[in-house]
Homo-oligomer: A and B are copies of this chain.
Amino acid sequence: MGAINGNEFINRVNQLKNEIWFDGQKIEGLISEHSAFKGIIQEKAALYDLQLNPKFKNEMTFLSPETGDSIGLSFLQPKSKEDLIKRRKMIEHWAKQTYGIMGRSPDYLNTVLMSFASSAGFLEGKENCYPENLIKFFKYAREKDLSFTHTFISPQVNRSHLYLENSDEPIAAKVVDVSEDGIVIKGARLLATQGGITDEVLVFSVGRFIFNEDEAFAFSIPSNTKGLKFICRDIFAGGTSHFDHPLSSRFEEMDSIVVFDNVLVPWERVFYYDNGEVAEDFIIKSSFHAFAKHQVVTRQIVKTEFLLGIAQLLIETINIGEYQHIHDKVSEIIAGLETMKALLERAENNASLDEFGFMRPDIFPLKVAGYIFPKIYPRFTEIIQLIGASGMITLPTEKAFQSSIRPDLNQYLQGATKSAEDRVKIFRLAWDLTMSSFGTRQTQYERYFFGDPIRISSDLYKSFPKEEYVKNVSQFLNLKES
């Protein structure tokens, strides 16, 4: 088998008949034809097609060490810096296809699963841990080119430090039964992007949100597992016109609440359970953060390039390139772009073999990128709004351009260097990226990609090695040992 193309992806997702609830209705029929999902499924299919496109196949796939089939390069477990760079190029190809807009392109979750499998050694010999299941499942997914979503956040019921869930009925998903066949899960998890339109759901626990042992587990199950429900949020696509909604008509990925209604997870799919310490440590000590951030930062760079292009195109369209405050604003984007690129390069340059024998990027430049981007991305969207000014509101529709009022639009909405139609296209794109409900969800998504910004800076402070610098100053001052 091996790497699939777009059609194979679509067919497979259609056959699953996952239980998806959208706007109060359970979806029946082909999911790929549903108006809320058609756009994203097509864009995702295009990504699968790209990996088999002869022009790219060489850089998007590699030969399976087991079957010899061409399999997706996002499953490659890197053992050298060259492997890392191959991975980055693969990520770039896919990111460029979607201008960095699709957050859950297949490489993201394939990378997550790869990082888990590449850290399976950590689970060896620990209680209730099944590293062999993890490795076996990884190989299975890799050879079948399975698609994934994941979910690791508990419902946002009560965010107090002191809160301990104490209801009779589970809210946060937890193990409610353990049997010969597997573990049984009841409760919910937030917020699975593309939930329902992937083959599998990867479920795991992030240490800091765990309060009970019964919430500490990791597994993967097919999306159509009995008892599994995906409840969609409201849709953020404004419609299907590429003119009116150039981004949301294509890239609305949908997020869903994942409900586990006494879902049985068979033992062969359980990676660990009932072990809070492992749940906490696995995320920290595995290569999850290193590889996931390597993927994310690469995508965010491509997205930043897209924003820079939009900013400059707006400037040229209404001819404001002479203003110093415009220079200053775009310089912020340029500086952000170069910074993200430099951090990524540094992470690759300083990569080293981890304890499991894989080439892990240096985590600190990536952590810094993960600290910076949630601050600069929202600012970039603000800059685009400040450049676009009233043009971000003066947005007629495609139908208006197709009507008898078109001559007026042509005359009164022309740009300094663009026809009215092109001018409106440009502003609608800027608007769809930064002001439509699709765009603002993108902003929130980038802001919270790796969690609460507050926690991110605490983690950066605590984990960064500061001793050498303290020692250096202490020596300068001839301090006594303390």
Contacts and interface: CB of A to CB of B under 8 A. Distances in A.
A316 B470 contact: yes
Nearest to A437: B436
A331 B466 CA distance: 11
Contacts of A99: 472, 476
Contact of A400 (B24, B378, B441): B24
Interface stretch (A5-13, A273-281, A410-418): A410-418
A233 B330 CA distance: 27
B190 A318 contact: no
Contacts of A52: none
Interface in A332-346: 334-335, 338-339, 341-343, 345-346
Contacts of A457: 324, 327-328, 331
Of A21, A401, A439, most B-chain CB atoms within 10 Å = A21
A257 B473 contact: no
A238 B156 contact: no
Given A313-B473, A346-B346, A476-B99, A334 B403 contact: no
Given A318-B159, A477-B422, A309 B472 contact: yes
A229 interface: yes
Contacts of A335: 368, 371-372, 460
A55 interface: no
Contacts of A434: 440
Contacts of A447: 385-386
Interface of A (DSSP majority class): helix
B309 A466 contact: yes
B23 A234 contact: no
Contacts of A415: 157-158
A283 interface: no
Interface in A423-437: 425-426, 429, 431, 434-437
A25 interface: yes
Contact of A419 (B26, B190, B435, B480): B480
15 contacts: A99-B472, A156-B390, A191-B393, A191-B394, A255-B393, A255-B394, A257-B413, A259-B412, A310-B473, A323-B454, A328-B461, A331-B458, A342-B345, A429-B477, A434-B440
Given A191-B394, A255-B393, A330-B461, 19 more contacts: A24-B400, A25-B399, A156-B391, A159-B318, A162-B322, A163-B319, A163-B416, A188-B411, A229-B405, A233-B393, A310-B473, A312-B466, A323-B454, A324-B454, A325-B454, A338-B346, A422-B480, A435-B437, A437-B437
Interface of A: 21, 23-26, 99, 153, 155-163, 169, 171, 187-188, 190-191, 229, 231-234, 238, 244, 246, 255, 257, 259, 305-306, 308-310, 312-313, 316, 318-320, 322-328, 330-331, 334-335, 338-339, 341-343, 345-346, 349, 364-365, 368, 371-372, 378, 382, 385-386, 389-403, 405, 408-409, 411-419, 422, 425-426, 429, 431, 434-437, 439-441, 443-445, 447-448, 452-454, 457-458, 460-462, 464, 466, 468-474, 476-477, 479-480, 482
